[in-house]
Chains A and B, each alone.
Chain A
Amino acid sequence: AQKITQTQPGMFVQEKEAVTLDCTYDTSDQSYGLFWYKQPSSGEMIFLIYQGSYDEQNATEGRYSLNFQKARKSANLVISASQLGDSAMYFCAMRGNTGGFKTIFGAGTRLFVKA
């Protein structure tokens, strides 16, 4: 069975500092994708970054990077130079290549950025 685990219910970071949000996963699929979504207080879900299981380099999107360690089955999100607008809930997610290509989500980490 596929599973996503986010062990940090809440995190605090000082503005302008970097922060790492942890994510571990479990799957029997040979090929899969890992995603991070952001949910601000307004409630919408915003796609941030993607990492493929066969990608050799870590994905980056602006201030977001994904620290992918396949052997450890981890896909941590790193946010550099945190901004007040980064305060939100962050979800790690995984999409496999079986069963309708559906995505499963972790429980989320709420990030608080302090001024």
Chain B
Amino acid sequence: NAGVTQTPKFRVLKTGQSMTLLCAQDMNHEYMYWYRQDPGMGLRLIHYSVGEGTTAKGEVPDGYNVSRLKKQNFLLGLESAAPSQTSVYFCASSYSRTLNYGYTFGSGTRLTVV
């Protein structure tokens, strides 16, 4: 019962480098989300997807791109990393659009941009 798996768990990038964070879920969830967590700011939504082939912007989308080519995978890309993107990134998924369904979270990716 893997749930939501994020890779990698840790990464250090140099400014200007690119990378892709992978989120994979094996629960057949329709909805997937990418959040970033910064001290004192809680979790802020970057992008989300309501189904395979769909993506939408969240609260802080600038500097990130996403793709959901397969239902089980949600990729977050950083084309040109900046120190401001140093953060902990969480992927989450949800089966239902009903409001009483909480998220299942991945274990997070700690990204440092130097």
Chain A residues within CB distance 8 Å of chain B: 4, 6, 9, 31-33, 35, 37, 43-45, 47, 50, 52-53, 91, 95-97, 100-108
Q: Which residues of B contact A6 (CB under 8 A)?
A: 42
User: Once bound together, how far apart are the Cα atoms of A43 and B58, in whole Å?
Assistant: 23
Chain B residues within CB distance 8 Å of chain A: 31, 33, 35, 40-45, 48, 50, 56, 58-59, 88, 90, 92, 94, 97, 99-100, 102-105, 107-108
User: Once bound together, how far apart are the Cα atoms of A78 and B27, in whole Å?
Assistant: 31
Q: Which residues of A contact B35 (CB under 8 A)?
A: 105
Q: Is the CB of A47 within 8 A of B108?
A: no
Majority-rule SS of B interface residues:
strand
User: Once bound together, how far apart are the Cα atoms of A2 and B108, in whole Å?
Assistant: 25
Known A-B contacts A43-B108, A100-B31, A100-B56; A108 and B42 likewise in contact (beta carbons under 8 Å): yes
Give how many A-B residue pairs fall within 8 Å (CB-CB).
Answer: 60
Q: Is the CB of A95 within 8 A of B88?
A: no
Partner of B42, one of A52, A95, A107: A107
Chain A minimum-CB-distance residue to B57: A100
Q: Which residues of A contact B104 (CB under 8 A)?
A: 47
- Chain A: minimal CB distance from B3 (Å): 10
Q: Is the CB of B45 within 8 A of A50?
A: no
Q: Is the CB of A101 within 8 A of B99?
A: yes
Known A-B contacts A45-B105, A47-B102, A107-B40; A100 and B50 likewise in contact (beta carbons under 8 Å): yes
Q: Is the CB of B103 within 8 A of A31?
A: no
- Chain B: minimal CB distance from A45 (Å): 4
Q: Which residues of A contact B103 (CB under 8 A)?
A: 45, 47, 103
What are 7 A-B pairs with beta-carbon distances under 8 A? Answer: A45-B90, A103-B92, A104-B45, A105-B44, A106-B42, A107-B41, A107-B42
